[in-house]
Amino acid sequence: MFGGFILLKICFSLCCSKVTDNAKNSLASLKRKNPRLEPTLAIIQAHNDQLIQEANKNLAKEIGLRVIHICLPEGSTKDEIVSEILRLNDDPNVQGLALDLPESLYSSKVLNAVKPEKDVDGLSSVNLGRLVHGDVCDCLVPPTVCAVMELLEDIGGKKVLLVGTHGAEGAALQSVLQRRGAAVLSCHWGAPQLQSELHHADAVVFGSMKPHGVPVSCTKPGATIINCARGPLPEKHSYGQQNNPADEKTVGSLAVAMRMQNMVKNMERWIQSQQYRKWDLHSLKLQPLSPVPSDIEISRAQSPKAVDVLAKEIGLLTDEIEIYGQTKAKVRLSLLERLRDQPDGKYVLVAGITPTPLGEGKSTVTVGLVQALTAHLNINSFACLRQPSQGPTFGVKGGAAGGGYAQVIPMEEFNLHLTGDIHAITAANNLLAAAIDARILHENTQSDKSLYNRLVPVVNGVRGFSAIQLARLRRLGINKTDPKTLTEEEISKFVRLDIDPSTITWQRVVDTNDRFLRRITVGQANTEKGFVRQAQFDIAVASEIMAILALTTSLQDMKERLGRMVVANDKKGQPVTAEDLGVTGALAVLLKDAIKPTLMQTLEGTPVFVHAGPFANIAHGNSSVLADKIALKLVGEKGFVVTEAGFGADIGMEKFFNIKCRASGLVPSVVVLVATVRALKMHGGGPNVTAGAPLKKEYTEENLQLVADGCCNLQKQIQITQLFGVPVVVALNVFKTDSPAEIDLVCKIAKESGAFDAVPCHHWSAGGKGAVKLAQAVEKAANQKNSFKYLYSLELPIVEKIRIIAQKVYGAQDIELSPAAQSQVDRYTQQGFGNLPICMAKTHLSLSHQPERKGVPTGFILPISDVRASIGAGFIYPLVGTMSTMPGLPTRPCFYDIDLDPITEQVKGLF
C-alpha cells in the first residue's frame, strides 16, 4: 500500500519536473533569440497563503521568469481587484497576468478585466470561447485543467465525474475532457444522485472543497480521484475507500508548473505579436464626378474606415494607438522599439517650384501619389503631412488636406484642431514666456535670501532641491546637494539668472493671424512694479517648440532640446535657457501627447500621419521626424513613405536635407518636384497672380511661349535637387485649362534638364488612378543609384554656410549682413553655437529676397537683416530682408465662408 503511494508521489514529481524542464528549455531558447527579453508574470493574490506564493516564486525562478506578486488584503472587493488588473494591463513591462483569489471572487467581471493577450490562466471569455470552439492554437488551456489532464491516464470512453466544478474553469475542463473522448457528467455537492454517480465513475474530479456535512460514500474501486480545489494548496483528503489512498491526486504544484508553462507559451505568442505584420489593407473605392465637386463635398461623400480598423490593417497593435473619435488616433512611440530591427522602406520627398500665392498642389500630389501606390499598385505606402495652422485656414490660403479626389479625410477634422497639438505647443510656449517675465520681476524685487527661501522652500520641515535645480547647480560648478551647505556667493549664483530684458528672444504665440500683436507692450499693470518692456506675438507654428516637435527623435531627446532652448542672455552676455528657468519638465508634460503622430486616412483608405507644422519660410517647413521613422518601419522594406516640404525646393527641400535629414539620419530615395503650367507662365512673365482674384486670360488660354520662358524656374529647382545627389521626378499637376501641347512641353524640358522622368498627374480629378504613372516613375527612380550629400559642412563658419545657400541655391552674387546680424553671428559663435545648420527665413514667392522677382533672378546681393538662434531645435536662422513671424488677415479672409449648420453640426465653407 505504502509502496504504491510512494510510487505515485515519484510519478507526480517526475511529471512536475518534466513540465518545468520543458518550460525552462523553451524560455532559454526564446531568450537566446531575443537577448533583451525580460518576461514578467504578475500574480494578484487576495489571501494570506504563503505556500502558493512560494510555489509560484520558486518555479518561476527555476524556469527563468520574473514574478511580481501583488498581495491584496483579504476581503478585497471585486472592484479593487479589477482596478489592479487594469493597472497591470497597461504596464508594458508585464507580459502575463494571473489571479490567486478566493473562490467567491472569480466572477466574469474580474476574469474578463484581464487583457486576453496577458491571460496566463486562460479564464477570460475570449480565451475560453476559443477553447470551446476548438481553436486550440489561439488559446491557452487553464493550468488546473492542464494538470488534471496530465494526471488522468487514457480516458477515452471512460466516465468522468466532475463534482463542484463550475464557472470558466469547469467549462474548460468539461470541453477538454469531451474532446479527449470521455463521457463527462457534472454534479454539485448537494445533488441527490452524487453518491450513485461516484460509485460508477472511472475518474472523479473535485473542483472545490467538500462542504461540511455532505456524506460521500465509497468510490468505484480503482477510480482515479483528483482534487483541484482553489485557494490554499489543497491538503490530501480521502473521499474514497480508506484502504485505497493511492488513487487520490492533488493538482497543486503541478498546476503551478502548468501556469509557468502557459506563461512561456504566452511569451512565444507575445514575441510573435511584436513581429512586423504584413499589411491587409482594404482600399476605399472612389467614383469621381465631373465636374469635380468642392473638396468638402468630396470628403463628405466618402465614408472613412474606423481608425482602429485602419490601424489593424497596417500592423499596429491595439495598445499602440490612442483613439480620438472615429477617424483619428495617436500612435505611441513604443512602436519604434518593437520594430527596431525592421528594415526601412523608401523615403520620398515632395517639393516644388517657386509657387504662386495660390500654391501648386504639393499636398495634393503627396496624397495622390500614396493613393496610387497603395490603392492601385498594391504597394505599401504612407503619406506624412504637416498639421495646418489655424492662421492660413481662416486667413487666405485655406486648409492643407490636399484637394479634389486626393485629400485626407475627414478634411474638417484635419484642418480644425485635429488632436490639439498646436494648442499644446501654444500652452507650453506661453508658459515659458510667463516664466521669463515673472523671474525678472521676482529678482528685481527680492533679496538673495528671500529668493532662495522661495525657490527652495521648506516642505514638512525639510528643505530640498528639485532634480532640475540640482542640474542647475552642477552647471554652475556647485557640487552640493544639501541646501544648508551653500555659501552666500553660491546662493546668489543659484538664484539670480540676471536676464538682460533687451536680449529676450522668446515671444508669446497664438494660432491666429493677428497683425496687431506684431508689437506689444507688457507689464503695464501696477502690480508689475514698473517692469515694462516691448514684446510681440508670433504665430504658434513659428514657435521653436513646434520646430523641436518636428525634429525630435524621442521623448528624452525632446526634453533635452526643450531644456537647451535659449530665451535670452544674462547681463554678462551668457545664454539663459529654459533649463535655467526650471520649466523643462513642465513643458514636456504639456507636450507628452503632442509628440505622438496622428493617424488618419486618404479618400481611398490609405494611411496618413499628420504631425507637426513648422512654417516653411520661417522655420524648416517639414512634418515630423518621428512620423517618418514610424511610417518607414510600418511600410516594410519594399514600401514607400512620402513626405512633403513646404514651398519651393529652394526653401523647404533645402531645409529638409540640411536640417531634418541631419536630425533623423534618414536618407531620401527620390524627390518629386511639383510644377504647374500656371506657375511656369507666371515665371515666364505672366501677370501677377492674386489670391481671391480671377486668373487673367494668359493662365486660362494656351501660351507656349510663356510656358517655355517660365521653365527656367523649373530647371533651376531641378539643379538645386541635383546638388544633393538625389534622383528627381517632375510631377506636373494638371489643371483643366492646361493644353496638351503645354503639358508635353513642360515634360520635355524637365527631362532634358536632368529629371529622371516627368509625368502629367490627374489625381485631383481622378484620385490615385490619375497618379499611377507618377507612382511607377517614383518606384523606378527609387531603384537608381543614390549619392545623397549635404550642401555644406557644419564645421564651416556661420557666415560661410549662409553664403553657400545664397549662392548655390538662390543664385545670389553674394550676401550682406547688417551690423546687428554680424553682431549676433559673433555672439553665437562665441557662445559655442557656430556648428549648427542654417534655416533661412526668406520669402517663398521668389528665389531671391524680393517676392516680385520671378523666374531665376541673378546678380543680386542677399541682405541678412538679423540672425537668430533656435538652439533647442538645433539651427541658426538668418532673416532675409523683412520677414514677419505673425501673418495678418486679408481684407476678405476665408472665415467669411466658414459656418456651422446648427441642425446637422456640419462645417460649411472649408475648401
The residues pairing with 897 across neighbouring beta strands, listed in sequence order, are: none
Distance CA 379, CA 775 (A): 10
Of 371, 327, 883, nearest to 615 by C-alpha is 883
How far is the C-alpha of 661 from the C-alpha of 347, rounded, in Å?
A: 11
Please pick, among 735, 780, 808, 829, the residue that the annotation labels catalytic. Answer: 735
The catalytic residue among 12, 206, 494, 647 is 647
764 among known catalytic residues:
yes
Euclidean distance between CA atoms 781 and 785, whole angstroms: 9
By CB atoms closer than 10 A (0-12, 13-18, 19+), residue 633 is buried
**Residues forming beta bridges with residue 838, ordered by sequence position:** 876
The three three-digit cell numbers of residue 868, written as one number: 537668430
Q: Is 808 helix (H, G, I), strand (E, B) or coil?
A: helix
Is the N-terminal amide bond of 291 cis, ω within 30° of 0? Answer: yes
Q: How far apart are CA 218 and CA 124, in angstroms?
A: 36
* Residue of 249, 328, 330, 397 with catalytic role: 397
| H/E segment holding residue 432 | helix 421-445
- Contact assessment for residue 113 and residue 82, using Cβ atoms and an 8 Å cutoff: yes
Q: Which residues pair with 539 in a beta bridge?
A: 510
Beta bridge partners of residue 96, listed in sequence order: 41
The residue from 147, 578, 616, 821 that is catalytic is 616
Cell digits for 162?
466532475
Buried b (16+ CB within 10 A) or exposed e, 317-329: beebbeebeebbb
Active site residue 571: no
Instruction: Name, in order, each residue with C-beta under 8 angstroms of 867's C-beta and a sequence gap of 6 or more.
Output: 798, 817, 821, 824, 825, 828, 876, 877, 878, 879
Asked if residue 440 lies in contact with residue 531, where contact means CB atoms within 8 angstroms, the answer is yes
901-907 contacts: CB < 8 A, separation 24 or more?
906/300, 906/412, 907/296, 907/412, 907/416
Cell of 688: 501677377
643: which residues sit within 8 A by CB, 6+ positions away?
347, 348, 349, 350, 366, 383, 384, 385, 622, 623, 627, 628
516 noted as active-site residue: no
Nearest to 663 by CA among 874, 884, 410, 498: 874
Q: Which of 364, 374, 552, 584 is catalytic?
A: 364
Cell 539651427, residue located:
875
Question: Rounded distance, CA 194 to CA 857, Å?
Answer: 100
Provide DSSP, 364-381. HHHHHHHHIIIIIT---E
397 is annotated as an active-site residue: yes
| C-alpha–C-alpha distance, residues 264 and 59, integer Å | 12
Q: Distance (Å, rounded) from C-alpha 149 to C-alpha 19?
A: 13
Q: Which of 764, 833, 860, 875 is catalytic?
A: 764
Active site residue 386: yes
Question: What Å distances lie between residue 15 and 11, 20, 25, 159, 246, CA to CA?
Answer: 6, 9, 16, 24, 16
Is 189 an active-site residue? no
Catalytic pick among 115, 220, 330, 386:
386
Cell of 682: 507666371
Question: How far apart, in whole angstroms, are the C-alpha atoms of residue 94 and residue 67?
Answer: 9
Name the nearest CA neighbour of 257 among 20, 18, 12, 15: 20
Query: Is 159 labeled as catalytic in the residue annotation?
Result: no
Please say whether the beta carbons of 643 and 348 come within 8 A: yes
* Helices assigned H by DSSP within 90-191: 108-111, 125-132, 143-151, 167-179
270 is catalytic: no
Catalytic residues: 362, 364, 386, 397, 616, 647, 735, 764
